Structure 1
């Protein structure tokens, strides 16, 4: 291991060509400069300088060390600068959210990235439990969840709301419990969570029998495809509003207004106690700005 202080003294000596000038430049004594050179030669077991009274010439080893040493010292300076910098508009940000809110946020965050090209977004869609686990495993920087995290190592704040909707095939009558039982449920990664919130508030039978009493007619983990089986008459589902609004074949499904509307709170989640770099605050600020308006807008 080369001592960087000795290396800097050596490179400065080569550049000035004089022990006294080197001592003045580094605020050292001339004997201190000589000691650094001897210690460097001893640590490398080579001769770096051939001294002739007040003059010196470099050996082959000395020339090699000077060339490579200058690069090393410059790299160390650059590294110190990079470590000390905390730009608000550059660097990678890793985040996850459920698919529905992601359909709203991802295009808006890409707009932000276009304005600040040195930002890099790693945006993934996932259900609530996967987002919490990714945060605890340090695989993402921030996450959005549709339920308040239970893990003690996570910090959260409510940043918005989104309504949950009962979606059925087109032209079916207004739903009652018997109709839902006959039709069956199209499940998705947050399907049980969404169904339990909305159906429990509107159907007494659901409270009595729970989610498992619903026949399951299918499952999709792709946010853009969850309504495809619904549009074909294969079942019903419960989804956040923006996922429904984003479905291209909206005319083939029917959203039913229920007696007791349910709003789902959106939480911005991060690791508790972690100091976030400025770029994370930039993204978090934009998320709060976007979720401060109705998601269906």
Structure 2
């Protein structure tokens, strides 16, 4: 009989394509992943991987095992869920969100865990495409995205709106086009997208973000407003990110004439019967985000 622990490690490795990422996903060491793969190959008396340096490809046997093994693991997990007591306040819930909403959501999830000590919440920050993929591959029970999924096995439900806001340092009282051009732009991975969405709706002069001198960039959601707070430029961010910035007294969040918002979507796997604890957490998340609109 195939060892399901080794099989899960192999299927996760085949999904992610990287030993280090697999070790991180399974809370193992990289050597532990390698040892379990070797044990599985020995048990089946056939090679599953062709190793080339630090990379690998699947053998024909590996491809077949990945295809059928994933089905077996899913069936085993569903069986285990069905026979266990389904307590809404006990067990593990895995969730991934974009950085902005995650800054608001993660402390709230910790509050839930304090209220229910038997509930374990595993939260990750990730971009939309990664969340969509990982929900599809069942690495997460729930995901929050700012775009509906294009994958057939991922269900997305619009649950809230998140406003985009223009942020400057606290010395800027009024916003107009000359002020923006003088300040310059502090960018981030979604900066051009957010800038286009909000400024196109509010300034006839706006054509593209390149009209502003780029005065800085950060890919850390909690640090994007640090240069803004020091007067280096303005930025456009989702409201949750702006309100989560630690130095609120040093920034000003401006209300523009024509508000623009992004839709937040709750994602889950279409083929998985959700446990009571996942439904409980999903309901709490939806209530929180709708209350913060």
Give the SS at the match of 1:158. Answer: strand
Partner of 1:143: 143
Query: How far did 1:84 drift?
Result: 0.7
Partner of 1:189: 189
**2:232 equivalent to 1:210:** no
Partner of 1:255: 253
Distance in structure 2 (CA, Å) of the matches to 1:81 and 1:97: 27
Query: How far did 1:81 drift?
Result: 7.5
Assess if the C-alpha contact under 8 Å between 1:127 and 1:190 holds in 2.
no
Distance in structure 1 (CA, Å) of the matches to 2:127 and 2:204: 27
Assess if the C-alpha contact under 8 Å between 1:109 and 1:286 holds in 2.
no
User: Number of matched residues?
Assistant: 215
Distance in structure 2 (CA, Å) of the matches to 1:81 and 1:194: 43
Assess if the C-alpha contact under 8 Å between 1:155 and 1:270 holds in 2.
yes
TM-score, structure 1 length as denominator? 0.64
Distance in structure 2 (CA, Å) of the matches to 1:252 and 1:126: 28
Assess if the C-alpha contact under 8 Å between 1:128 and 1:190 holds in 2.
no
Q: Specify whether residues 233 and 94 from structure 1 end up closer, same or farther in structure 2 by C-alpha distance, changes over 3 A only.
A: same
Q: Output the aligned Cα RMSD.
A: 2.4
Query: How far did 1:155 drift?
Result: 1.1
Q: Runs of 4+ in structure 1 displaced over 4 angstroms? A: 80-83
Q: Runs of 5+ in structure 2 lacking a partner?
A: 2-78
1:11-36 deviation per Cα after TM superposition (whole angstroms, max 9, x unaligned): xxxxxxxxxxxxxxxxxxxxxxxxxx
Assess if the C-alpha contact under 8 Å between 1:128 and 1:145 holds in 2.
yes
Q: Runs of 5+ in structure 1 lacking a partner?
A: 2-79
Distance in structure 2 (CA, Å) of the matches to 1:153 and 1:192: 30
Distance in structure 1 (CA, Å) of the matches to 2:83 and 2:177: 61
Query: How far did 1:268 drift?
Result: 0.6
Partner of 1:277: 275
Assess if the C-alpha contact under 8 Å between 1:162 and 1:265 holds in 2.
yes
TM-score, structure 2 length as denominator? 0.65
Q: Which has the larger radius of gyration?
A: 1
Distance in structure 1 (CA, Å) of the matches to 2:228 and 2:149: 30
Assess if the C-alpha contact under 8 Å between 1:227 and 1:247 holds in 2.
yes
Partner of 2:236: 238
Query: How far did 1:203 drift?
Result: 2.0
Partner of 1:58: none
Assess if the C-alpha contact under 8 Å between 2:81 and 2:275 holds in 1.
no
